[in-house]
Amino acid sequence: MKIKFDITKVIRILRREVKKWEVPIVTIYSRGNKRSAFLVLISCILSLRTRDKQTAAASKRLFAVAETPKEIANLPAEEIEKLIYPVGFYRNKANTVREVSQTLIDKYDSKTPDTIEQLVSLKGVGRKTANLVVTLGYSKLGICVDTHVHRICNIWGYVDTKNPDKTEMALRNKLPEKYWIEFNDLLVTFGQNLCKPVSPMCSKCKLAGMCPKVGVRKSR
């Protein structure tokens, strides 16, 4: 007999389970800081194709020197490169964070936009980053979908989609709004620590009894 996939029960279980692990670095910068939206934005840009520990270290070094659009825009690109190395594509990212910072100064009076439409107009900002800034920086509704969220939602059979953008739209139509903001944090933490891309640890997963494991060929 097919077991019903109960998203409410899943969220309840994940809330308990993720307490065992470290939260994503961008979440840390969204807590208790009056400039959190900007810090979330910059740390998201640094995080692309980079491991979380490297992003955390690079963000810490950069923000210790500069943590406002004006301060970052005034730094030479070479200095930013040194501060954020060895994040992936660190030279390109150094130029991107400077350009984004200058754009915020010129167009938004140094304030980070709070709409997805405005955010995706910034250099290097896609829907994933825009949704994170909106949700974590401003506590507004949005669904951030990265590779973990896309992959896990398809493994669950909760959506049947080909890429993260399509997963976001499917979740907007299906996932109850009360779960939108926390969804990324829960699934990213879960995906980094247990439901890993290569050989997920299904034998230790509290969701194993209800997960159909769509597309999973090898697990532990």
Using alpha carbons, select from 166, 172, 162 the residue that is nearest to residue 142.
Answer: 172
Answer yes or no: is pLDDT of 1 > 60.
no
Residue ranges, CATH 1.10.1670.10, the chain: 7-23+143-204
Ramachandran region of residue 21, left (φ > 0), alpha (ψ -120 to 50) or beta?
Answer: beta
Q: How confident is the model at residue 29 (pLDDT cuts 50, 70, 90)?
A: low
Mean of the per-residue pLDDT values of the chain: 92
pLDDT of residue 24: 74
Six-digit token string for 136: 């974590």
pLDDT mean over 172-196: 95
Q: What is the mean pLDDT of residues 88-101?
A: 97
Per-residue CA distances from 58 to 33, 86, 171, 220 (Å): 18, 8, 32, 33
What pLDDT does 36 receive? 83
Residues carrying CATH 1.10.340.30, the chain: 32-138
30 pLDDT above the threshold of 80: no
Q: What is the pLDDT of residue 32?
A: 56
pLDDT value at residue 27: 73
pLDDT digits (tens, 9 = 90+) for 31-69: 655 558 999 999 999 998 888 889 989 999 999 999 999
Q: Which residues contact 61 (CB under 8 A, 6 or more apart)?
A: 83, 84
Quick one: how many helices (H) and strands (E) in the chain?
13, 0
Domain at 7-23+143-204, CATH class: mainly alpha
Which pLDDT score is estimated for 190?
96
Give pLDDT tens digits for 107-155.
999 999 999 999 999 999 999 999 999 998 898 999 999 999 999 999 9
How large a percentage of the chain has pLDDT more than 90? 82
Which residue type occupies 208? A
Percentage of the chain modeled with pLDDT above 70: 95
pLDDT band, residue 4 (cuts 50/70/90): confident
User: Would you tell me which CATH number, out of the four given (3.40.47.10, 1.20.1250.20, 3.10.50.40, 1.10.340.30), belongs to the domain 32-138?
Assistant: 1.10.340.30
Question: In the predicted model, what is the mean pLDDT of residues 205-219?
Answer: 93
